[in-house]
Structure 1
Amino acid sequence: MKRLTIIIIFMLSFSSVYSQLGKTEYLKGEAARNKENWIEALKWLKISAEKGYPKGMNSLAYMYENGEGMDQNYPEAMKWYRKSIQKGNTDAMVSLGIIYQNSDLYEEAENCFKMSAEKGNINGMDLLGYFYFTREKYKEALPWLKKAAEKDQPTALYHLGEMYEYGYGGIQIDETKALEYYKKAASKGDENAIKRLKTN
């Protein structure tokens, strides 16, 4: 029994160390990105990603997607986002979903947003809610917008305000509640909410 306990502790320790492989390089890469030292950033993030560190993969993908220090390379970006997703990175799920949405691959976009939202990613919740909102699937949109709004996501707060102002999805119109959502969204810097309040 004692030997089994030692083996389990060893395996857990090994797993913890293994999961951190590439973290140091990731931090160096992010520090270089913050200084817009793209060559150094790319070098360190490539090492981090190749060691299997999820955040390193995600940041490397972002560099390829946005052309930081290079030409944009969507195939390479998508490759690294997918690898990061395989490691459970929810930010990568959101980013890949946005690429799919911008490429009119809506089913794939929905899947990515839903996957991230169900894992608790606030941006995933917001984007999934908005995805349904723009398709007038208001009953599907409402719970995800509410979840994001509970975490003070500005755009979710604004769209909830719209739902209560206009009664989308059969919701009872409640201008008081709509105004509360608009004010809260505006206080978080949402431009649409700020403009909406100015028209009242």
Structure 2
Amino acid sequence: MKNTAAALGLSLLAVVSCAVGAHAQSADLVLCDRVAADPADPDKPADVKGVSEIAAADISTAVRFCKQASGGTRRALYQLGRAYAANRQATEALAAWRKAADKGSTAAMVELGILYATGAGVAKDEAHARKLLERAAEAGNPRGISNLAALGGGAAATDPARARSLLAKAAETNAEAQYQLGLMLADGKGGAQDDTAARALFEKAAAQNHPAALERLGAFAEQGRGGAKDKDAAKSYYQRAADLGEEDAKKALKRLECPYVLKDKRGNLVSNLCF
């Protein structure tokens, strides 16, 4: 009887130990999600809000708990990369994102694609960037689709109609996709030209403070494309875009303020006349 009781006690202890270990691992991921989850990551649980940027006060916590949870899920690895990036540890961030991408994280593929496209911290390699973004886009990641279109490669270049289709799905929620699809509709790429639909897409992206979409919306309002012509509205859109650093919007504002120009005999601009 004593031996049986002892054996039962050991069995119960083992079960409790396993449960505690599982709970501890789960707690690490919960804390990692809380401070480092990306709102745009398709792997993010629906009940996790996520943060667009990791708060400075949470960086060390994010690194600690995401690192402890990184052996379990690709989401934790991706979030660990975000934490390292926020802590200016570019080499560590790159390594974490590579591991996450190898495990199928489309969010990590997008981050790597952007790094290779811009040459930030790695040798610039647009071909590799395109492959990464194509993988993410094929898996339905909205940022993968929109960044691929912005890169001007893959489906956007070789199959504009398919690019439209991919962007249409992403444009349901993604401002960059709304902007890119708006450009395609405005230019008639991959299908019929539709200024009204393009303007509506620019309005959606502008509502999310997308600088380039605000500039395009200003141009459409100024020219009366896809809707009413409204110079005051155009100036307001240009101003919002300019405040966000959009250079074309700054030029448009200058042109509205100084509509007349002086040119020399050769037709070269001498100066603007402002009234």
How many pairs align?
A: 175
The structure in which a higher percent of residues are helix is: 1
Deviation of 1:109 (Å) = 0.9
Q: Distance in 1 between matches of 2:157 and 2:128?
A: 17
List structure 1 segments (4+ residues) > 6 angstroms apart after TM superposition: 133-136
Deviation of 1:20 (Å) = 9.8
SS in 1 for 2:159: helix
Q: 1:22·1:56 contact (CA, 8 Å) conserved in 2?
A: no
Deviation of 1:30 (Å) = 4.2
Q: Distance in 1 between matches of 2:78 and 2:23?
A: 15
**What is the 5 A alignment of 1:70-81?**
72-81=88-97
- Cα distance 1:56–1:22, how it changes in 2: closer, same or farther (>3 A)? farther
Q: Distance in 1 between matches of 2:30 and 2:159?
A: 42
Q: Which residue of 2 aligns with 1:25?
A: 28
Deviation of 1:193 (Å) = 2.2
- Cα distance 1:187–1:42, how it changes in 2: closer, same or farther (>3 A)? closer
Q: Which residue of 2 aligns with 1:98?
A: 114
Q: 1:126 aligns with which of 136, 143, 146?
A: 146
Q: Distance in 2 between matches of 1:162 and 1:114?
A: 20
TM-score by length of 1: 0.72
Q: 1:82 aligns with which of 94, 98, 108?
A: 98
Identity percentage over the alignment?
27
Residue type at the aligned position of 1:28: L
Q: Which residue of 2 aligns with 1:9?
A: none
SS in 2 for 1:152: coil
- Cα distance 1:95–1:163, how it changes in 2: closer, same or farther (>3 A)? same
Q: Distance in 2 between matches of 1:188 and 1:138?
A: 30
Residue type at the aligned position of 1:116: A
Q: Distance in 2 between matches of 1:34 and 1:24?
A: 20
Deviation of 1:39 (Å) = 2.7
Deviations 1:11-41, CA, capped at 9 Å, x for gaps: xxxxxxxx99944212223445557233332
- RMSD of aligned residue pairs (Cα, Å): 2.9
Q: 2:175 aligns with which of 133, 154, 158?
A: 154
Deviation of 1:147 (Å) = 2.7
The higher radius of gyration belongs to 2
Unaligned stretches of 5+ residues in structure 2: 1-21, 36-53, 222-275
| Pair 1:65 & 2:65 matched | no
TM-score by length of 2: 0.55
Q: Which residue of 2 aligns with 1:142?
A: 164
Unaligned stretches of 5+ residues in structure 1: 1-18
Q: Which residue of 1 aligns with 2:134?
A: 114
Q: With CA pairs under 8 Å and 6+ residues apart, which has the higher RCO, 1 or 2? A: 1
Q: 1:21·1:48 contact (CA, 8 Å) conserved in 2?
A: no
